[in-house]
Amino acid sequence: MDMRNIAIIAHVDHGKTTLVDVLLRQSGSFRDNQQVAERAMDSNDLERERGITILAKCTSVLWEGTRINIVDTPGHADFGGEVERILSMVDGVILLCDAAEGPLPQTKFVLGKSLKLGLKPIVVINKVDRSDARPDEVHSEVFDLFAALDATDEQLDFPTLFASGRNGWAAESLDAPREDMRPLFELVRRHVPAPKVDVDAPFTMLATTLEANPYLGRLLTGRIQTGTARANMAIKSMSADGKLIEQGRISKLLAFRGLERVGVEEAQAGDIVAIAGLTKTTVADTICEPAVTEPLAAQPIDPPTLAMTFSVNDSPLAGREGDKVTSRMIRDRLMREAEGNVALRVRETQNADAFEVAGRGELQLGILIENMRREGYELSISRPRVLLKTDENGQRMEPIEEVVVDVDEEFSGVVVQKISERKGDMLEMKPSGGGKVRLVFHVPSRGLIGYQSEFLTDTRGTGLMNRLYHGYAPYKGPIQGRRNGVLISNGEGEAVAYALWNLEDRGPMMIEPGAKVYQGMIIGEHSRGNDLEVNVLKGKQLTNIRAAGKDEAVRLTTPMDMSLEKALAYIEDEELVEVTPKSIRLRKRLLDPTDRKRAQKQAEAG
C-alpha cells in the first residue's frame, strides 16, 4: 500500500492534538454518530486535566488509498526527549505555528532537530481566524527561523498552508475557499516521500516508545526499517553497541488503525507497528531477525539538566494515606519510568532510602511525582538543583536556557529587572503587536527555579513565558534565593482556627483549620527573613464570664494555594516536600529544632 509517515511538531498550545482530531474525523476514521472525546489523542488523566500532551502517540488514517501514519508530539520543552526519538520514525514533519504568537522556543527546538535529520517540513500557520492573527508576518518569521537554523535551499523552499484546526479547514492562501482539510492531505501525499525501504532484507526495527500492557506485557513501538514482521516469528534484540539482550518471538503484532491498535498477521518495511513478546528490550534497542548482526543507529538525546532527590517519607504522618511507602517499591517504580523515558536518569545515592532523578525540567519531574502519588506512593522530594559540569580547563559550567517573554509594555521593566537579578542577559526586545513586547533572554536554569509564579504575579497574570535549554556556559555566581523565612509548627496535632487567626499578623498561612501538623512542618510564610516556630494547636481559653462579641466566628484569610509545582519551587535546600496521595506538605529536612540549630552552627563553622 502507498504509505506516508509524518510527525506533527509545534510549540505548546499551537493546536497539534486538535489538528489530529480533525484529520481523523475528515478521513472517515470515526462513524458519523460515534462519540469521540475532544483531543482524542490525549488519553491519560493528567493530559486531559492540564490540556497538554505529555507522551508522543501514533495514529493512522486512510486517505483515498494512501495510509498516513501520524505521530502527535508534546509541545513542552520538558518532554523534548519524546520528540527527539520519534523523528527517526518519520519521513516528513508538519510544523504548526500559531498565527498570532509566531515561532516560539519549542518551535525552534523541534524544527532544528528535524532539519538536521534532512526532513523537509510542511509549514501550517494555524489559528488564522484569531482576532489578533498576523499570518503574513508569522510566515516571514518562520522563513527567518529556517534560515537561522541553516536549512538547505531545498528545505527553505517549504510549502505553506493557512488553517484553522478547530474549524476544520486548510487553504493554500488566505483568499482561497475555506472548506476542509483536503489541501493538507494532498500536500502530505505530494510533498512527503514514501518510506525508502528494502522489503526483501531481513526484518529490523528500532524501538522508539515503550509501554506496559496488562494483557500483552511490554509493547515496543517503532517503524520497521527493512523486511517483513510476521506474528510468531523468531526475533532477537540488540543494544546500540551490538550486544545481544534477549531472544524471543513476536507474540502479538499490532498496527495503528485510527485510534485503535489492531492485531495483524504481517507488516512490511515502512509501517509503524507495536510488538509484544520481549521482556527486557527497551527504547533505542534494535529488534531484528536472529541472522542480523549490526544494530540500527539511534538518535542522540540531549542530556538532563535538573535533578531532585526522591526519598522515603519519614515524617510522623508517614504511611497514613499511601500504601506504597518502602524504598524498594519507590526504586522499582523509578527504574520502570527510566526504561521508557530516555530523557530521565535515575541514580542510587549513598543513602539506601534516596534516589537521584535527573530530567529536563520541573514540569517533567512534577508530572512523574503526580503520577506516582495517584498510584498510591508516599515520597519526600528535595529542592530541584541544576546539574553542573566542569570543562577541560577546570571551569565550572552550568545549563543556560533561552527564555522568550511576551508581556504588556507596562510590565516589561519589572520583568527585565527580575531576570537580571537572576543573572539573565537580554538578547532582544521588540514589539509583538497589540501593545505587547517580546523579550528574549539567556538565563541560568537555577535562576528560573521558582520564578514562574513570581512572573505571573508581576505581570498580573497576562504574561507568557517560554523556556528552552540552550547549552552550558561558565558559572555566573550566586543568585539570591527566597527572601522570606517560614512559620514552623512546634507540636503535633490538628491546627486550631483561633491559633491560625492569632498568627495571621506573622504572615500568610499554607494550611486550613483541622489540618494535621507535626513538629518541623512548615505551616506558613514569615513576613520577615528568619524562620519562626509557632504554636498552631493553642485553643481559646474559655471563661465563665461572657461578654458581647466574645464568641464571634473567627474569620481567616484564604491560605496560600501550594500546588505540587509551586511547592517544589518554593522550598530551600534544607526543606522537603512531603507528597502523599491526598496531601502535599512542606517540612524542614530536620524536624527537631535542636538538630536544626546544630546543623546551622556546623554549616557556619565549616
17 annotated ligand-binding residue? yes
Contact between residue 286 and residue 224 where contact means Cβ atoms under 8 Å apart: no
Start-to-end C-alpha separation, the chain = 71
Rounded CA-CA distance 105/201 in Å is: 41
Question: Measuring CA to CA, how many Å separate 109 from each of 59, 116, 124, 235?
Answer: 23, 11, 17, 36
Distance between CA atoms of 402 and 397, rounded to whole angstroms? 16
User: What contacts 336, CB < 8 A, 6 or more positions away?
Assistant: 212
Confirm whether residue 127 is marked as ligand binding. Answer: yes
Residues 582, 333: Cα–Cα separation, whole Å = 19
The CA-based angle 66-110-386, given to 5 degrees, is 145
Other residues' Cβ atoms within 10 Å of the Cβ of residue 308: 23
CA distance 575 to 74: 32
Q: What angle do CA 471, 145, 160 make, to 5 degrees?
A: 140
- 70 phi and psi, to 5 degrees? -120, 135
Among residues 308, 381, 341, which one has the least CA distance to residue 210? 341
Angle subtended at Cα 327 by Cα 45 and Cα 278, rounded to the nearest 5 degrees: 60
- How far lies 444's CA from each of 451, 452, 474, 517, in Å? 12, 14, 10, 36
Q: Which three cell numbers stand for residue 479?
A: 543568585
Q: For residues 324 and 47, give the distance between their C-alpha atoms in angstroms, rounded to a whole number.
A: 24
Asked whether residue 13 is marked as a ligand-binding residue, the answer is yes
Do the annotations mark residue 126 as ligand-binding?
yes
408 carries a ligand binding annotation: no
Beta strands in 350-489 (DSSP E): 354-359, 379-381, 385-386, 389-390, 396-408, 425-433, 436-444, 464-474, 486-489
To the question of whether residue 128 is assigned a binding role by annotation, the answer is yes
User: Residues annotated as binding site?
Assistant: 13-18, 126-129
User: Residues annotated as binding site for GTP?
Assistant: 13-18, 126-129
